[in-house]
Amino acid sequence: MDQQKTIAKLTLENEELRKQNKANEQRIAELETLLKSFQAKLFGTKSEKTVSVNENQMTLWDDDSVFTWSEHTDKQSAESSQEKIQKSPKKREKRQKQIEDLEIVKNIKRLKETTCPYGQALKVVGERFIGKKLHYKPAELWVVEEYVATYACACAACLAQNNGQTAFFSAEKATPLFPHSLATPTLLENIVYQKYVLGTPLYRQLKDWRRFGWNVCEPTLAAWVIQGADKLRSLYDLLHKKLLQRPYLQGDETVVKVLREPGKKPTAESRMWVQRTVQKDKLQAIYYAYRRDRSEKSACSLYSGFTGVLQCDGYQVYPKVDCADRVGCLAHVRRKFFEAAKYSQAAKGPLKILDQIFHQEKKWASLNSSARINKRNEFLRPLFEKFWQALATCAALPKSLLGKAIAYALGQREAINKLLQYGAIDISNNTCEQAVKSLVIDRKNFLFSTSVAGAEANAIWLTLIESAKANGLDPQKYLTKILTVVPQLGPFPTEKELEPYLPWN
């Protein structure tokens, strides 16, 4: 009897050890996958493209495709020489297109001596074209001393008006960009353009400015950037107001750091929120807003007054935003399956379906909203159903990359299916993510903002620059225009006064 109890106990312990061993193996597999994923993020490519191989493509070592090296090289050299002959006119056309908008200056090289070896004067009979060369003139700085002319009048009327004193008149003085400052709209525009478009932080700009003869310090440039943003804040706020009136919006956010933010450590993360109109909208606007956190309160304040349809990722605060409807992003879903497919064969099936969806959608980019809805319902709806069925039969550990991808997709199922209802909205939020990328590129260069005022200035400048670019404007010319005009409107300009200077106008 005791022996049977002992055997039963050992059997139970053995079973427990087997379960524990299996759980340990699963955990080890999860950790190995995570390790490979982190290594790929650090050292691997960032591209999310999948490579598709044509089934009809011949392999290099097919028996039917045997060839001699000399025959191949002779044929290849003949084809390449023929291609060179055919492509040279295209290259000339391409080069000509690159410089078609530039000013052309005619330069004729002339002989120093205009007589022949026997002393007879030479006569010009024509010109021979040699070629075109592109020249560059470095930037220049200069100082303009501004004066106001003063006039006097001693006519009888003026004397009578001024109690017998000579009357004096002066020309109207222009309002400076900043009081008692050297700053001009063109100078500040260049500082801002270098920082936010070219990604050159202020401390690196100092070398160029000093090379031009201006011995400026970084705090001066930083103060100008912040003060200039304050001058344009009314235009920035109006752009946001107009944006919230649009029927469709895309939203996203990213991390920023502010060193001197009250109540937070310098290492703590803050957020830059991004809103933009969809690609099909006739009004193109991109809005950046700095917030100290990623909370529901920040999201709701940013979208306050919006009554349209919002497309965003699956972050938990977005469902709390008050809007007509919320639509998901298929690119976020695909990204997780793309990562999982590197380590799991089971993830390749759903990923292939998602690729088919994006391939089909690409064909309808130029169609209007109603036509896209019809196409989606005809071609994408079956693929969506096939994708959800694939997830239902896909077995994966909950904490594995595939398990997390499945959980995220199923959590977004309702929002993803709504893509079939709105033809004006793309199936991905990538357009908004591209706007985030502009900030990320700048962030890699200037790393952080010293103060909250600096972070808010970043949001204002990026909003105006990226919105100008989205509307096909030259950001330099646009910045010069608004820096020249908007500060002259006074501290409290009306919407009617600001309306002409919105990027789409």
The per-residue DSSP string of 270-315 comes to EEEEEEEE-TT-SS--EEEEEES---HHHHHHHTTT--SEEE----
Point out the least confidently predicted range of 135-139, 195-199, 427-431. 135-139
Amino acid at 19: K
Residue, of 476 and 322, whose pLDDT is higher: 476
**Distance between CA 172 and CA 342 in Å, rounded?**
70
Residue, of 374 and 51, whose pLDDT is higher: 374
Sign of CA dihedral 255, 260, 261, 265: positive
Point out the least confidently predicted range of 191-195, 240-244, 280-284, 396-400. 396-400
pLDDT higher than threshold 90 for residue 273: no
Amino acid at 34: L
Strands 325-327 and 449-451, how do they pair? Answer: unpaired
Burial (CB count <10 Å: 0-12, 13-18, 19+), residue 259: middle
pLDDT value at position 41? 63
| Residues 307-321, mean pLDDT to the nearest whole number | 82
pLDDT higher than threshold 50 for residue 60: no
**Distance between CA 9 and CA 31 in Å, rounded?**
33
Q: Cβ(455)–Cβ(255) under 8 Å?
A: no
Find tokens 């909203």 and name the residue.
369
Point out the least confidently predicted range of 30-34, 196-200, 442-446. 30-34
DSSP bridge pairs for 254: 272
Residue, of 286 and 68, whose pLDDT is higher: 286
What share of the chain has pLDDT > 70, as a percent? Answer: 86
Give 16-44 pLDDT, tens digit per residue. 777 777 777 667 776 766 676 666 666 66
Amino acid at 85: I
| Residues 54-79, mean pLDDT to the nearest whole number | 42
Point out the least confidently predicted range of 64-78, 89-103, 464-478. 64-78
Amino acid at 194: Q
Point out the least confidently predicted range of 28-42, 444-458, 470-484. 28-42
| 476, two tokens | 């330099």
Burial (CB count <10 Å: 0-12, 13-18, 19+), residue 308: middle
pLDDT higher than threshold 50 for residue 62: no
pLDDT higher than threshold 90 for residue 107: no
Band of pLDDT at residue 63, cut at 50, 70 and 90:
very low
pLDDT value at position 42? 65
Residue, of 54 and 193, whose pLDDT is higher: 193
pLDDT higher than threshold 70 for residue 469: yes
Point out the least confidently predicted range of 166-175, 306-315, 330-339, 384-393. 166-175
Spell out the long-range contacts of 208-216 with Cβ–Cβ below 8 A and sequence spacing 24 or more: 209/141, 212/139, 212/140, 212/141, 213/141, 214/141
Cβ neighbours of residue 261 under 8 Å, at least 6 residues apart?
A: 268, 270, 292, 451, 452
Burial (CB count <10 Å: 0-12, 13-18, 19+), residue 152: exposed
**Distance between CA 302 and CA 296 in Å, rounded?**
10
**Distance between CA 60 and CA 58 in Å, rounded?**
7
Element (H, E) at 72: helix 69-98
Cβ neighbours of residue 155 under 8 Å, at least 6 residues apart?
A: none
Q: Cβ(439)–Cβ(195) under 8 Å?
A: no
The Cβ of residue 135 has, within 10 Å, a number of other Cβ atoms equal to: 7
| Residues 213-228, mean pLDDT to the nearest whole number | 90
DSSP states along 189-237: HHHHHHHHTS---HHHHHHHHHHTT----HHHHHHHHHHHHHHTHHHHH
| Residues 66-73, mean pLDDT to the nearest whole number | 40
pLDDT value at position 1? 63
pLDDT value at position 64? 41
pLDDT higher than threshold 50 for residue 233: yes
**What's the DSSP call for residue 418?**
G
pLDDT value at position 28? 75
